[in-house]
Chain A
Amino acid sequence: MTSSSPAIELRGVTRRFLSPDGKSLTALRDFTMTVERGEFVAVVGPTGCGKSTTLNLVTGLFKPSGGEVRVMGQPVSGIDRRIGFAFQTDALFPWRNVLDNVVAGPLFRGRPRKEAYAEAEAWLARVGLKGFEKLHPHQLSGGMRKRVALAQTFINKPEILLMDEPFSALDVQTRAKMHEELLDLWGTNRASVVFVTHDLEEAIALADKVYVLTKGPATVKSVYKIDLPRPRKVADIRYDKDFIAISRRIWEDLKSEVQGAQAKAA
């Protein structure tokens, strides 16, 4: 039964926060989303609308105030070992060198040291950081730190990969390179991915399915299937005419929400 169930299901989920002065704030309302196994889903929406909240509900770090969150057919209870998470900010451990950062996951999970280190070295080689093992994160460029973070996440072989605007702090060229590397890694591991971003082009270039959220409190405004063929060349795809057509259609949809959110912020 569970083998055919979707990787992630959020059914009518509401999530409220209590502000420090005791007021209740709603981040998500009646939110429904399904991610099939091996599917790459992108979530776009205006800034501050509650996109990241969806990810934290799946990790089990947050609990839903209403509705249901299921992972692999089971209700979420605590942190699921099958989940990997890529953070927006730098979440590497600055006092550990590159190798010790990558090896953290397997060691936490009780793998024998020798095996874990051998695997970590193999992953560093895969993301092109052979020879940088002994450096500390502050000695690396932003792109290299992201690669370390990807290796740190992928070494646990996640079946579900949650990404919270992971490349938003990178410059344009590095970001394009990281897109290629991500699709390459994903191509071999075929995790189910939820990729949160505010960059529509990034979402379309990477994903099978794009969820557009309304301004906060967020709910699903519309869902688009992206039928662009794989494997995709992310650097070139943005000039593809199908890509441009899809991009224009989704932007029409997203535009009103973004403008609404900006009006509210101003």
Chain B
Amino acid sequence: MDSTITIPLSASEAQIEAEARARQKSYWLRVYFWRSAILVALLGSWELAARQGWIDPFHYSMPSAIWARLIEWTTEGTSEGPLWYHLWVTMEESILGFLTGSVIGVIAGIALGRNQMASDVFALYIKLINSIPRVVLAPIFTVILGLGLASKVALSFIMVFFVVFSNAFQGVREADKAMIANARILGASNWQLTRFVIIPSAMSWIFASLHVSFGFAIIGAIVGEFVGARYGIGLLISVAKGSFDSAGMFAAILIVMAVALLAEYLMTYVEGRFASWKPQTSADAA
């Protein structure tokens, strides 16, 4: 098939734009085709391998069994009660951890970024705490804060805080020196300088960290639930593991994936609204 498109030299702007749109559309159709083809091939070979007995479905489960478990959970509920309630508990923990972690992370990052002395004093402690693998804090939080909401939120918080904090700090440090001098000479007070120059210029750094940190918040909540909980997706995985229900484990993973993806899209949307001032690259027209 010949894919070159010849446009006569006399082509009008409208024609050129229509051609570009058509090319764009066919490109994305191909991208979507390959994306779905890969998914179908993967799931298909998994299902086939399990049904033919090449892999043991007891350990590896198979797509149809996972799907059946998801349907069962959504319509009849899990052995531990309704699925929606577990999902809600995990979400509540993640969202609380995410919000508190990112807000306090941003504030601490900007405050230390603006104050050389304070940042030098606290740098040591931040490094010390940051060097602890977060997951090992889960049992401690469970002991101190109990089996309920608080221990999971604390773990979520600590996962989110350091990522957001270090990005906000770096963003403040990278703020353009000429721009700061300009604002100062134009008459900005310290607070005005922070609000009008420092925070907006740190924003792209902060958003970069918010993208990954909702995922971290979910990890914190689920690991917390593994260690000890009465509700939550982490508990479902833990129960499924205890009863050798591999379809149940995969089903729980799928639910977490869906939630994390949704959060990621939401974040991209919000960031797009905030960053409307940024230059957009124009595409090559011909």
* Interface check A263, CB cutoff 8 A: no
Provide the main secondary structure of the chain B interface.
helix
List which B256-286 residues lie within 8 A (CB) of chain A. Answer: 277-279
Q: Contact mask A86-97 → B, CB, 8 Å, 1/0?
A: 011111111111
Cross-chain pairs A/B with CB under 8 angstroms, 12 sampled: A85-B181, A85-B182, A85-B185, A87-B182, A91-B176, A91-B179, A94-B278, A95-B203, A136-B277, A152-B186, A153-B186, A156-B186
* Pair A108/B182 contact, Cβ less than 8 Å: no
Tell me the bound Cα distance from A152 to B182 in angstroms: 10
* Interface check B74, CB cutoff 8 A: no
We find that the number of chain B residues with CB closer than 8 angstroms to chain A is 21
* Pair A95/B187 contact, Cβ less than 8 Å: no
Q: Across the interface, which residues of B come within 8 angstroms of A81, CB to CB? A: 187
* Interface check A105, CB cutoff 8 A: yes
* Interface check A129, CB cutoff 8 A: no
* Interface check B200, CB cutoff 8 A: yes
Nearest CB of B to A134, in Å: 11
List which B194-221 residues lie within 8 A (CB) of chain A. Answer: 196-197, 200-201, 203
* Interface check A138, CB cutoff 8 A: yes
* Interface check B45, CB cutoff 8 A: no
* Pair A108/B179 contact, Cβ less than 8 Å: no
A93-B200, A95-B200 known; A79 vs B185 contact (CB < 8 Å) = yes
We find that the number of chain A residues with CB closer than 8 angstroms to chain B is 28
Q: Across the interface, which residues of A come within 8 angstroms of B185, CB to CB? A: 59, 61, 79, 83-85
* Interface check A226, CB cutoff 8 A: no
> Among the listed A87, A105, A136, A139, which residue makes an inter-chain contact with B181, where contact means beta carbons less than 8 Å apart?
A87
> Among the listed B182, B187, B201, B203, which residue makes an inter-chain contact with A91, where contact means beta carbons less than 8 Å apart?
B182
Q: Contact mask B158-191 → A, CB, 8 Å, 1/0?
A: 0000000000000000001011011111111100
* Interface check A109, CB cutoff 8 A: yes
Q: Across the interface, which residues of A come within 8 angstroms of B200, CB to CB? A: 93, 95
Q: Which 10 A-B pairs have the closest CB atoms?
A: A91-B182, A108-B187, A105-B186, A138-B279, A109-B187, A91-B178, A95-B277, A108-B188, A136-B277, A85-B185
Q: Across the interface, which residues of A come within 8 angstroms of B64, CB to CB? A: none
* Pair B181/A108 contact, Cβ less than 8 Å: no
Q: Across the interface, which residues of A come within 8 angstroms of B189, CB to CB? A: 108
Q: Which residue of A lies closest to B188 (CB)?
A: A108
Q: Across the interface, which residues of A come within 8 angstroms of B130, CB to CB? A: none
Q: Across the interface, which residues of B come within 8 angstroms of A59, CB to CB? A: 181, 185
Q: Which residue of A lies closest to B180 (CB)?
A: A91
